Chains A and B, each alone.
Chain A
Amino acid sequence: MQLGMKEMWRQRRRYSLIFVITLLIVLLTTLITGLADGLAYDNGASIRELDAETFHLTADADGRLTRSFIERAPTDTMTPLAVKPLTFGNETKQDATLFAIPAASSVGPTLDLAVGEVLVDPSFLGTLAVGDTVDDFASGYRFTIVGTTEGRFSHAPVVWTTMETWDAYQQVAGGPVYVSAWLGEGDTPLSTFTKQEIIEAVPGYSAEQGTFTMMRGFLLVIGAFILTAFFYMVTLQKLPELGILKAIGIRTRTIGTALVSQVMLTVILASGLAALFTAFMAEVVPAAIPFQFDVANALLYSTLFFIISLAGTLLPLYTLRRLDAADALGGRMK
């Protein structure tokens, strides 16, 4: 191992090049992961923040809150949740999702609100201010903004209100009186979903995350290929030198360990620096860009890259193992 470290340190110009390339690839992976995590959070933040793990929806809703229409029935153990995308329109139109829970419930934000009052995500405010009113474009129901609380759903701001306001709104809007889901444990004729299943059913969530996962996968494989190609080329360049080492009796394991340790150090350093930079980015990017640094994900992708890169060392290791010292010396001991 020391042999490999000494080589890297004393030939740093050669190895810094591959380090920079590796760092950029890992960094690209972690930045994309940060964006994917940010978008994933942005897509289902309001669901994620709910203090409930079990959701009961109608079977035909396929886990989509906005497709589930349940006749409201009294229950002591479960909490109703109503979710409806609305277009608000005063001077300009703005999309948001209305979330309603009972005022006394503890599953969501504290809602000490009178009928018609709402709390909105800060991004909803724009030119509006606390105290302003906004109308539902379709029904004309008027809501009064009395405060802000963070909440996003399907990349749109969430407007939080109480069930009393939801009922009042439904009377104005017409149509059936319903809620979207019951939260909590209990027997219902409805279909049961976990929180993660509800998040994954948010429109666009799976397609979006699938795209990012594919990008990350390709980046990992491309990175590992580049790393393998580099160390393979370096091994080929060093064949006469490695032949000498084998000729004087140095074990293949000693030489191979040096090679593997070089790959390990390159990937570990690059992953560490990339994680630090991504954590820094998460702190400095504007709030408008959904970006999150998740330590577990950074570790996961670093570990995957590490494993793929180690697999990539099999080729140069095979070359090393097959190396005939006499051939490497060029047929002559010169």
Chain B
Amino acid sequence: MRLTAIHHAYEQPILSGVNLTVSPGECIAIVGPSGSGKSTLLQILGLLKRPDAGTLHLGPVDVFTLDEEARRKLRLNEIGFVFQDAHLVPYLTVMEQLELVQAETGLATDSRRLLTDLGLGHRLNELPNRLSGGERQRVAIARALVNDPSLILADEPTASLDYVNGRLVMERLAAAAHEDGKRVIVITHDERMLDVCDRVLRLRDGQLETL
């Protein structure tokens, strides 16, 4: 995955020539103050937003040249999202959260095993409102992994969790990179979690710098 010369502005420039290359099996943390453009960068990486300028190559293709339907398919098949508050579908059980994605991809991943590996084997038929924050976030990780993506994007995945649960979540995300060969990009404010990542980058003045 290669991000090249990304520029984006709202009322003022927020990204000014961001370059980033992520290799398979690499876990990267991006830090930076509020309003520095971290989430905008993640939306661009997640194909949810087109930048004003720049390219993003997932393999040989610049994804910004693709139409919306092609980008949706890429999001479905190649990218797994983990959001700050898990954002599970409130009326679907833990198992059904994954089945919803599987129904779209047609991929027959063993979702039961995936959830069991994440310590949720006894919660398969529970609705999200009966899960703890940590459990919800682990379901979100399972949902992000169930389509076997090559890239996982996580935006403040530990923000609403205590240290122990936050640590579990970060370690699982790092394991997705180190054990399963995924590319993992995590935006976080929690400095206690940075050590699980291979690289830590700071977004400042619209550009990424290595810490």
Q: A: which residues have CB within 8 A of B?
A: 3, 6-7, 10-11, 240-241, 244-251, 254, 325-326, 329, 331-334
Contact = CB atoms under 8 A, between A and B. Distances in A.
Interface residues of B, number: 35
Contacts of B144: 248
Nearest to B69: A251
7 contacts: A244-B89, A246-B72, A247-B48, A249-B75, A249-B147, A250-B104, A254-B103
A248 B81 contact: yes
Contacts of A331: 39
Contacts of A332: 39, 155
B155 A247 contact: no
Nearest to A14: B91
Interface of B: 39, 42-43, 46, 48-49, 72-77, 79-81, 83-85, 87, 89-92, 96, 100-101, 103-104, 127, 143-144, 147, 153, 155-156
A247 B89 contact: no
Contacts of B87: 240-241, 244
Which secondary structure characterizes the binding site on chain A? helix
A250 B100 contact: yes
Nearest to B76: A249
Contacts, number: 75
B76 to A, nearest CB: 3
Contact of B91 (A11, A246, A249, A325): A11
Given A6-B96, A249-B76, 14 more contacts: A10-B127, A11-B91, A240-B87, A244-B89, A248-B76, A249-B75, A250-B104, A251-B104, A254-B104, A329-B48, A333-B48, A333-B153, A334-B39, A334-B84
A245 B155 CA distance: 16
Contacts of A241: 87, 89-90
Contacts of B81: 244, 247-248, 333
A331 B156 CA distance: 14
Contacts of A254: 103-104
A85 B110 CA distance: 82
A326 B48 CA distance: 6
Contacts of B84: 333-334
A10 B93 CA distance: 10
B44 to A, nearest CB: 9
Q: Which of A10, A254, A332 has the most CB of B within 10 A?
A: A332
Contacts of B103: 254
Nearest to B99: A2
B77 A333 contact: no
Contact of B39 (A7, A10, A333): A333
Contacts of B46: 247, 333
A3 B103 CA distance: 11
B75 A248 contact: yes
A334 B85 contact: yes
